Chain A
Amino acid sequence: EPEVTQTPSHQVTQMGQEVILRCVPISNHLYFYWYRQILGQKVEFLVSFYNNEISEKSEIFDDQFSVERPDGSNFTLKIRSTKLEDSAMYFCASNIHHSNQPQHFGDGTRLSIL
C-alpha cells in the first residue's frame, strides 16, 4: 500500500537554527498538509497546500514557518529560527481531494530543540 514518507525520523537542533523537514506524499495525491503534536497534546493543523500554494494556515503557522514543493515529489516544512516550543512531532499528510477524503499520515519527524 502506498504511503507518505518523512525524513529525518528525528532531528536535534540548537535554538535559533533553521530546520527543514521533508515529506514525500503519496504519488497521485494532490493535497498536502503539515500537522504537529506536542508531547501529551492533541494533533494540531499547521498548513494545507494545493497547486503550489497555501490553501489554509493556522495561527501556529507564523512567519517563521514556510512550505515548499521544490520538485515533483518532495514537500518540505522549514522553520527559520527554531524556538524551544517548536519541539514536537511533525506529521505530513496527503489526500486526493481535500473535502471528504481521509488524510494519510507519514510516520513523523520528532524535532527536538536544545
Chain B
Amino acid sequence: RKEVEQDPGPFNVPEGATVAFNCTYSNSASQSFFWYRQDCRKEPKLLMSVYSSGNEDGRFTAQLNRASQYISLLIRDSKLSDSATYLCVVNNQAGTALIFGKGTTLSVSS
C-alpha cells in the first residue's frame, strides 16, 4: 500500500463549483497532516494544516478521520486561481520528515 494515496485527477470544474479531494495514508502513527498546493514547476506551499476536529479557512475545509486514515479537502466557490496540484502530506512516525502524495490536479475554467 502506498504511504499517501490520492486520486490524481485531473478534476476539471467551472468557476463557482464545489470540489472535494480525498487522500488515504498508511501509517497509523502519523500525527501531523497538511494540504499543500503546488503550481507547475514551483515549490509546495502550505494551504492548511488538518486537525482532528476539522478546520476551515475561508473557502477551504479540511477533515481528518484517524480511524479510517482518511483526509479530505473541500473547496467551495472555485476560482480560476485555484487551478493547481493539491498535495496531501503527512509526517512520518518520528515527525522528522514529510511524506507526500503524488497530488490531485485541479483545473478551474471560466
Contact = CB atoms under 8 A, between A and B. Distances in A.
A106 B43 contact: yes
Interface size class of A (residues with CB under 8 A): 20 to 34
Contacts of A41: 102
Interface stretch (B17-25, B67-75, B87-95): B87-95
B80 interface: no
Given A91-B44, A107-B42, A107-B43, A102 B49 contact: yes
Contact of A56 (B41, B46, B94, B101): B94
B43 A45 contact: no
Interface size class of B (residues with CB under 8 A): 20 to 34
Interface in A17-73: 33, 35, 41-45, 48, 55-56, 58
Contacts of A98: 95-96
Contacts, number: 59
A55 to B, nearest CB: 5
Interface of A: 33, 35, 41-45, 48, 55-56, 58, 89, 91, 93, 98-108, 110
Prevailing SS type, chain B contact patch:
loop
Given A56-B94, A56-B97, A99-B95, A42 B103 contact: yes
Contacts of B103: 42
Given A99-B31, A99-B32, A45 B98 contact: yes
Per CB-CB distance, the 10 closest pairs between chain A and chain B, nearest first, are: A99-B95, A56-B96, A43-B100, A45-B97, A105-B43, A42-B102, A48-B96, A100-B32, A102-B46, A55-B96
Contact of B100 (A33, A44, A100, A106): A44
B99 A99 contact: no
